[in-house]
Structure 1
Amino acid sequence: MMLLTAGTRGDVEPFVALARYVASRAHEVRLAVPTGADVPDGLDVVRFDLDARRVLPAPGATPWALARHLRDEVRPAMAGMLSAAVRETVAFAPDVVVHHALVLTAPLAADALGVPRVLVELAPVATPSAELPAAGGPTATRELGRWNRATYAVPRAAARVFDAEVARAAAQLPTGSRPARRTPSRATLMAVSPQLVPRPRDWPARVHLTGHWHDDTPADVDPAVAAFVAGGRHLVASFGSMAAGAAGRRGEQRARDRARDRARDRAEHRARGVITAARAHGLRTLLLTGWGGLALPDDLRGPDVLAVPAAPFGSVLPGAALVVHHGGAGTTHAVARAGVPSVVVPVTADQPFWAARLHRRGIAAAPVPLRRLSAATLLPAVADALGRREAAAEVGRLVRQEDGLAAALDVLTAL
């Protein structure tokens, strides 16, 4: 079995969990992940030359900056990843290809090998429904009735941006060219909790809502973090893989320095709002700084604040009073599983979709737009979230009963 994924931590960890689960059931599996992805020992892993930190645009970038970023960073990175996906899959010659929606060349490789392929959606982006807007689209936070189906044209159009890169990657196929038509996927694994996205009535039978995929293997916790979370009521703040910001054009050191300073200022501003709101509600703050989306200002340091780059969610979330986060799919499911209420500050991609789903489910305050993030906006949002603890605990109980990995493997072995 070949598993291929691309993106940030929230895109990689479910595939790692599936790879470990499948391998533990005596199946041969190879996992392809981006450069720098954290993968435990013992798995057969190949890596794409794709650095998600460079590919992510800076929050609030201008249209011109985004266009330059697409040309200078995204296209070259995608070209390399798409080509490597074909090359590694053909070399492994699996019985089945299981791939993330971003790996656009996985269908070509599966067709060339004559094996079935399975699409994985970590949010609804490729399976249209009249009951759900597409995650990542411009209307992901609003229900549009029968017009919901039209929103799925947005992710399809985004994929077509890379048609030239897909065509060049086809040179890695045994035939040396792109086939005239693509064989549809045999199944779609929607690795999403039905507690957050109930199954729409118009999804076809080949779409399997498995529940989210996560690894229950205990993770090591830094002693300082363990002591902090055991020390009293606390809030966890994490913007996960939200990048600090673009570093400017390569070779322009002054532009890079200015961009770095601006990014640091924005990260400190966000953390200031979180810590101030936490203190106003008598909460301590565990600040997970991630890729630079949050940074602790020097004047707010104190025994009630601990800032660390990362910590295992399974260890630090269950005892939290609430979580302030960006709404990535992985973080969203981890928070829901922990039974903890949220304040979501969505930034991009599918994050507004998940922010809206958590609020609609009654386990998060109304989303706070990134541009409005401050102590003034977080104070009432934190109060709102704290009032949703019972609802969050009940959802957590239900999510913990799901076994997404077993459901996924049942579908795969049936092929």
Structure 2
Amino acid sequence: MRILLATAGSRGDVEPFVALGERARAAGHDVRLVAPDNSGADTGELDVASMGVDYSALIEAQGVSIAAAIRNYRTVVRPLMRSVIVEGARAAFEYRPDVIVWHPKVLSAPIVADALGIPHALVEIVPALTPTRAFPAAGTVPGSLGPLNRLTYRAAAAAESMFRQDLAEARSLVGGRRGRVSQPAATLMPISPAILRRPDDWPSTVHLTGRWARESGGDASDTGDPALEAFLEGGPYLYAGFGSMATTGAERRGRAVVAAARARGLRAVIALGLGGIVVPRDLHGDDLFVADFVPHSRVLPGATAAVHHGGIGTVQAATAAGTPSIIVPFIADQPFWGARLHDAGLAPAPIRQRALSASRLGAALADADLCRPRVTEAARAMAEEDGTNTALSVLTSLR
């Protein structure tokens, strides 16, 4: 079976597709991954085609500010999405797969699938497209609207209308017909039921598969750094990192994390990422390990708690490691996961990134200790899952 995987976004959007691609390849399938450049994800030996976009460079240039995205829509956002839509379509069409598995940003995937007469499967890394009464679409409203939750899922359809011209170009490129595209033959959500309970009103074509993880546990930043290994063996430590959340206030966040850790007698491993946190030189000491990136698979299992932005990748990695999360949400789906984990007793109440302080973080660290039994229980449940294999089984059934 020839499987085309198409994704767009930062590292957290690419890594689940890499895990699925490696599992499919190991099972004897032909796989091509169409992805952005320089995502930070280790793609191993996968056949990778470029979309010609670099989300990391975009984030470093303008941060994650919604205001900046609106301001630069015509000069930055629109050209980037054109590449995702058009170049993604070109790469998929040239490969001639038997099935296309696509990220919601790759809006042209159904057009290509219809032109080739093949099924396609949507991957909702976060629940934002499949309507339910149980909760609002991730990244829309801050709290539940009860019976009106289903209305929040219309936002995605409105966003798609912004790129009609680019979709028309993709349709012309592959010889697609005008009109409505086909619905996904399956929707895959690489999310653990230990973190998100499956709503009763989702259709049977939606599969909450569990987390997609590489069998090797591979991590692009896992270089076997002896300095990191020595630090991890030196006693209890806190982990803090905000991934690609580059925005103002990074030094303030760094000072808050260091002060809170030291107040509790903890050392700290701090991942700077793309600039979401900065540790001023006057704070550096033997009780801190500071690096651009560190392997989650190595540092999370031994951490007393993980302070992070609440992206689903880090949420699941920390929970699977049995480590309580303290979520400091910035944008998009992060407040959603902060609320979900808190409601489930898996994390303290989230702290808004602009409100992060040493005292608030210190109180959250104390609350995180109370969450440890529930997190341990969730980690045991996740250890029994094989979401990657479940997803692959769904795909092979579509032939």
**TM-score bracket, shorter-length normalisation:** over 0.9
Deviation at 1:281, TM superposition (A): 1.1
Matches within 5 A, 1:302-313: 302-313=285-296
The corresponding residue for 2:303 is 320
- CA distance in 1: counterparts of 2:97 and 2:65, whole angstroms: 42
Matched ranges for 1:175-324 at <5 A:
175=176, 179-219=178-218, 220=222, 221-243=224-246, 245=247, 263=248, 266-324=249-307
The one-letter code sitting in structure 2 at the alignment partner of 1:162 is F
The alpha carbon displacement at 1:60 in A equals 5.1
Name the CA distance, whole Å, in 2 between partners of 1:20 and 1:270: 36
Post-superposition offset of 1:66:
3.5
Structure 1 counterpart of 2:385, from 390, 402, 411: 402
Q: 2:339 aligns with which of 352, 356, 360?
A: 356
In structure 2, what is the Cα distance between the partners aligned to 1:226 and 1:171?
Answer: 54
Other-structure match for 2:156: 155
Q: Which residue of 1 aligns with 2:371?
A: 388
Output one character per residue of 1:218-266: Cα deviation in whole Å (capped at 9) or x when no partner. 44431111111111100000101212x4xxxxxxxxxxxxxxxxx4xx2
Alpha-carbon distance change, 394 to 269 in structure 1, aligned in 2, over 3 angstroms: same
Q: Report the Cα distance in structure 2 between the residues aligned to 1:352 and 1:280, rounded to whole angstroms.
A: 27
Structure 1 counterpart of 2:323, from 315, 330, 340: 340
Q: Which AA in structure 2 matches 1:163?
A: R
Contact 2:84 2:105 in 1 (8 A): no
Assess if the C-alpha contact under 8 Å between 1:55 and 1:77 holds in 2: no
Matched AA of 2:163: F
User: 2:355 is matched with which residue?
Assistant: 372
**2:169 aligned residue:** 168
Aligned partner of 1:104: which letter?
A: L
In structure 1, give the amino acid aligned to 2:267. R
Aligned partner of 1:43 in structure 2 is 46
Q: Map of 1:51-66 to 2, 5 A cutoff?
A: 51-56=54-59, 58-59=63-64, 63=67, 65-66=68-69
Name the CA distance, whole Å, in 1 between partners of 2:179 and 2:370: 56
Equivalent residue runs for 1:132-151 within 5 Å: 132-139=135-142, 142-151=143-152
Correspondence for 2:21: 19
SS in 2 for 1:97: strand
Contact 2:188 2:207 (C-alpha < 8 Å) held by counterparts: yes
Gaps of 5+ in 1: 246-262
Q: Report the more deviating stretch, 381-390 or 94-103.
A: 381-390
Point out the more displaced range, 233-242 or 37-46: 37-46
Residue from 68, 91, 109 that aligns with 1:106: 109
Aligned to 1:30: 32
Is residue 117–residue 187 contact of structure 1 (8 Å, CA) maintained in 2? yes
Corresponding pairs, count: 389
Normalising to structure 1: TM-score of the pair?
A: 0.91
Determine whether 1:79 maps to 2:45. Answer: no
Match of 1:258 in 2: none
Distance 1:3 1:406 in 2: 15
CA distance in 2, matches of 1:218, 1:108: 34
The answer on whether the counterparts of 1:96 and 1:117 sit within 8 Å (CA) in structure 2 is yes
AA of the residue aligned to 2:30: E
TM-score normalized with structure 2 length: 0.94
8 Å CA contact 2:38–2:56 kept in 1: the answer is no
CA contact (8 A) 2:69 2:77 kept: no
Distance 1:309 1:216 in 2: 25
Q: Aligned-pair distance for 1:317?
A: 0.4
Matches of 1:52 and 1:229, distance apart in 2: 31
Distance 1:152 1:287 in 2: 36
Distance 1:159 1:371 in 2: 31
Give the letter for the 2:167 counterpart: V
Deviation at 1:136, TM superposition (A): 1.1
SS, match of residue 9 in structure 2:
coil
Tell me, what secondary structure is at the counterpart of 1:19? helix
Give the letter aligned to residue 74 of structure 2: R
Q: C-alpha separation between the residues in 2 aligned to 1:66 and 1:213?
A: 30
Partner deviation per Cα, 1:76-99 (whole Å, 9 max, x = no partner): 111012111111111000000100
Match of 1:97?
100
**Matched position secondary structure for 2:72:** helix
Deviation string for 1:51-88 (max 9, x for gaps)? 11344453556x4x442222221111110121111111
1:208 match: secondary structure: strand
- The amino acid that maps onto 1:357 is R
1:105-130 CA-to-partner distances (Å, cap 9, x unmatched) read 00000000000000001110110000
Distance 2:109 2:336 in 1: 26
CA distance in 1, matches of 2:269, 2:294: 10
- 8 Å CA contact 2:254–2:280 kept in 1: the answer is yes
* Cα distance between partner residues in 2 of 1:60 and 1:92: 36
- Checking the alignment, whether the CA contact within 8 Å between 1:136 and 1:155 is kept in structure 2 is no
CA contact 1:137–1:155 (8 Å) conserved in 2: no
2:331 and 2:215 map into 1 onto residues whose CA distance is 28
Which residue does 1:3 correspond to in 2? 5
Secondary structure of 2:150's aligned partner: helix
8 Å CA contact retained: 2:99, 2:118: yes
Deviations 1:185-240 (A, max 9, x none): 10101111111111100000111110011113144431111111111100000101
SS at match of 1:102: coil
Q: Does the residue aligned with 1:29 lie in a helix, a strand or coil?
A: strand
Gaps of 5+ in 2: none
RMSD over equivalenced CA pairs, Å? 1.5
Report the identity percentage: 45
